[in-house]
Structure 1
Amino acid sequence: MVGYRRVMADDPALIPHEINTERQRYPHCVVWTPLPILSWLFPLIGHTGICTTDGVINDFAGPYTVNVDDMMFGNPTKYWQLDVSRVRDMEWDEAVNKSSQEYRNRMHNLFCDNCHSHIAYALNLMQYDGKSNWNMVHIAVYLLLYGKYTGFGGFLKTWLPFMLILAVILAFIFLF
Structure 2
Amino acid sequence: MKTDTAMSYHPIDIERDKYPYCIVWTPIPLLTWLFPIIGHMGIATSSGVIRDFAGPYFVSEDNMAFGSPTKYFQLNPALARAQSWDTAVAGASEIYKTRMHNLCCDNCHSHVATALNLMQYGGSNRWNMFKLALLISWHGKYVSLGRYLKTWLPFYIVLTFLIIFSIFYFK
Match of 1:104 in 2: 97
Match of 1:124 in 2: 117
Alignment of 1:8-19 (within 5 A): 15-19=8-12
| Residue in structure 1 matching 2:24, options 31, 47, 62 | 31
Larger strand proportion of the pair? 1
Name the CA distance, whole Å, in 2 between partners of 1:3 and 1:94: 21
| Residue in structure 1 matching 2:147, options 140, 146, 154 | 154
Contact 1:3 1:17 in 2 (8 A): no
Where 1:79 maps in the other structure, the secondary structure is: strand
Alignment of 1:12-161 (within 5 A): 15-161=8-154
Amino acid at match of 1:151: S
RMSD: 1.5
- Residue 146 of structure 1 deviates from its aligned partner by 1.0
Where 2:9 maps in the other structure, the secondary structure is: strand
Name the CA distance, whole Å, in 2 between partners of 1:41 and 1:112: 20
Distance 1:98 1:121, change over 3 A: same
- Residue 173 of structure 1 deviates from its aligned partner by 2.0
Could you report, residue by residue, the CA deviation over 1:93-133 in whole angstroms, capped at 9, with x for unpaired residues? 00000110110011111111100000000000100011011
Larger helix proportion of the pair? 2
Name the CA distance, whole Å, in 1 between partners of 2:79 and 2:147: 28
Taking only the aligned residue pairs, the percentage that are identical comes to 53
Match of 2:165 in 1: 172
Contact 2:2 2:8 in 1 (8 A): no
Which runs of 5 or more residues in structure 2 are unaligned? Answer: none
Q: What is the TM-score of this pair, normalised by structure 2?
A: 0.94
- Residue 31 of structure 1 deviates from its aligned partner by 0.4
Moved over 3 A (4+): 1-6
Distance 1:160 1:135, change over 3 A: same
Amino acid at match of 1:120: A
- Residue 3 of structure 1 deviates from its aligned partner by 7.4
Which runs of 5 or more residues in structure 1 are unaligned? Answer: 7-13
Where 1:73 maps in the other structure, the secondary structure is: coil
